Structure 1
């Protein structure tokens, strides 16, 4: 097993009111199409989002017109944000930057070569021989998949320390003049943010201390025939959202089998799980998770709180939900399941355990 010893989110700028964002963004997306503008505002009201953080002031998105410009902003603003989240996580963990042996970086809202994690080496003071693994394409499942892959690394390197860095500036993918329903939904659902987790292998001295959960196991799944339900269409204007209205139905039909399989491998059932850490994919996704797993009322409160406060942060979302879950308190000896969905359609599940005190 590995042990998560700290997690820290970071956000750009102040929280901005969803209604105020809608009024500024709507003309950029829908132009003179009054019907589309009305639909967009209604979708924003029903998104479950009250406030969001944005990489830019809302009025500045009128000037972001092409992919190159948006990606330059992603690299400059995003690297600063990822550095802030990483510094906070390391401080919470009591870990000095040179102690880090492995960095997994995941993002799906911008690209760079060298990637953002390379820039973090010098900024944070990581060792020049630190092992790095940048990832693109996991989408909203990146935080869950990242935890699983860091756990895999630490299983083979039990004395090591690792960072998982999730960075998403979803607002920079805004498509001017795109009135496709998926684009209208996305323009009100996603927020900007970063989150960093610090984990250690089970032979590391910090593995026996602290209040963070152990990572016990993981499971990955690709659902056949769903490749066109979620992802990006990449073109000259950048990343255009692919988001099917059928996605909640996929979750509702398929998730239970995967969760049951992960839990059964460790002698558990859904009723044994005290904490559900689910990426804030939107109200319909959260409702589908609750229905598929027959969860009690309140089981997804941390996810709904995250959605309301900061929107869907894509890969960083599940770490923000984990941070909220931890700050709310978790009974010692509790098992938990962390899960997220991404392009494919894929599901990534991680089994957690908060050890008993002492």
Structure 2
């Protein structure tokens, strides 16, 4: 057992450039149809994991003021922080953590050590949960594909995960770097291609894909970057430090004949990727002596949104080039006829993309983007691990049969997948039982899932997170009085859509 990954006792516990016309017409709700007769590639297990520590925006404000000198850049960063719309961010480190409060930012060796030790445990938990959701022997896993942009070592965390899970020595391992937030769907694309290739060879593949990101250890590095910006008289805010979080996600992807207790949550109908030319300096993640520094320019929302329509058109051609189990899917299918699982890159990205595609927003019924908005509010942006959490929440909430998942990464790179939603909603990880009993009427099931989701949202938004000031007064986090800056009072309902634009 690696010293970096302790056992978890509670682990279980580009080509086409033509744009589509703007989508018109009503959003439709399609009925579930029978699965593809050609043994499609499917998502058979699905889970995510986040740390217990949830950091509200007020914690970042105090931390930023402690480690950066007063400047216009700091002021703008604090303004962005108060407008993200994020309730809290899961973090392996609270802002009072010793590693974040040294005289200098932690060196890269410490960043990697924490990634392997604490992050590795998080990846293990997500993987174990996905395996429970899959409900098959771990010995049936044939491939392991991992991705991250917040840790680097040789061997990579995939080996330690392989060891902790007890996977066979013959299991094929692949670790993907350099694609950042897009990695969560890139590994799905690679897993699908492996499954198709293995099936052509007469073999059945079961691929475990894992995304792990630990961004919290990099917070001091981002503060150093912010301080340097302010010292030279710059006014550029450090957006990354206000939205990123820690998380892991995992899926079991397979094809061929289903085993006992195997169920498909989603069929993967097609995958595509595209890189936008001359955007390397707009979205990047550069290594430094103290870890990695994120580069996010104000062009990112427009760049990512502009790339989606043409990629969607190309993906439709790919998905419909062979018999398809989703009748609604044709080369002329409009974006708003499908649900969308969008990477939680920022509120502006979610808003602008939804508007461009004419999708029903989070306050509409039915919504086509609720899973993304819910995960953004609850978890912020966990880079490559974000989209897995969105897909997991989307499975729970239910919705249209056709779904598009999209994620964005450095390059700018866009990854897109078309999914067919199946009836299986997963298992209770603790009990290993189906969350949705067989034989339940679809309308009753849909109603119950909607009601549960509404209750969960209300409960989450109703939580009163308190910030203790020096006088002992406790106030809701959205009304925090920032004593260091005098009487700067936050409005209770500051949930403006600012995202990356400042």
The TM tier, using the shorter chain, reads over 0.9
Match of 1:75 in 2: 116
Match of 1:167 in 2: 212
Q: CA separation in 2, counterparts of 1:26 and 1:103?
A: 42
Match of 1:346 in 2: 413
Post-superposition offset of 1:309: 0.3
Post-superposition offset of 1:354: 2.0
Post-superposition offset of 1:271: 4.7
Match of 1:157 in 2: 198
Match for residue 117 of structure 1 among 147, 158, 169: 158
Superposed counterparts of 1:1-358, under 5 Å: 1-28=40-67, 31-60=68-97, 61-63=100-102, 64-158=105-199, 159-174=204-219, 175=221, 176-179=223-226, 180=229, 184-205=238-259, 210-265=263-318, 266=320, 267-268=330-331, 269-271=333-335, 273-297=337-361, 298-331=367-400, 334-355=401-422
State the superposition RMSD in angstroms.
2.0
Q: Is the 8 A contact 1:182 1:242 kept in 2?
A: no
Q: CA separation in 2, counterparts of 1:169 and 1:135?
A: 16
Q: Secondary structure at the match of 2:52?
A: coil
Q: Is the 8 A contact 1:48 1:282 kept in 2?
A: no
Q: Is the 8 A contact 2:130 2:250 kept in 1?
A: yes
Match of 2:429 in 1: none
Deviation string 1:47-103 (CA, Å, 9 cap, x unpaired) is 221111111121121234222211111111111111111111101110222211000
Gaps of 5+ in 2: 1-39, 230-234, 321-329, 362-366, 425-438, 440-502
Q: Is the 8 A contact 1:252 1:291 kept in 2?
A: no
Q: CA separation in 2, counterparts of 1:85 and 1:182?
A: 36
Q: Is the 8 A contact 1:160 1:201 kept in 2?
A: yes
State the aligned residue count: 353
Q: Is the 8 A contact 1:162 1:199 kept in 2?
A: yes
Post-superposition offset of 1:165: 0.4
Q: CA separation in 2, counterparts of 1:301 and 1:86?
A: 25
Q: Is the 8 A contact 1:144 1:340 kept in 2?
A: yes
Structure with higher helix content: 1
TM-score, normalisation: structure 1: 0.93
Q: Is the 8 A contact 1:260 1:270 kept in 2?
A: no
Match of 2:496 in 1: none
Q: CA separation in 1, counterparts of 2:240 and 2:265?
A: 33
Q: CA separation in 1, counterparts of 2:184 and 2:287?
A: 22
Task: Answer with 1 or 2: which has the greater Rg.
Answer: 2
Q: CA separation in 2, counterparts of 1:356 and 1:76?
A: 37
Post-superposition offset of 1:149: 0.6
Q: CA separation in 2, counterparts of 1:285 and 1:271?
A: 16
Q: Is the 8 A contact 2:73 2:236 kept in 1?
A: no
Q: Secondary structure at the match of 2:239?
A: helix
Q: CA separation in 2, counterparts of 1:284 and 1:340?
A: 14
Q: In 2 relative to 1, CA 212–356 (structure 1 residues): closer, same or farther, beyond 3 Å? A: closer
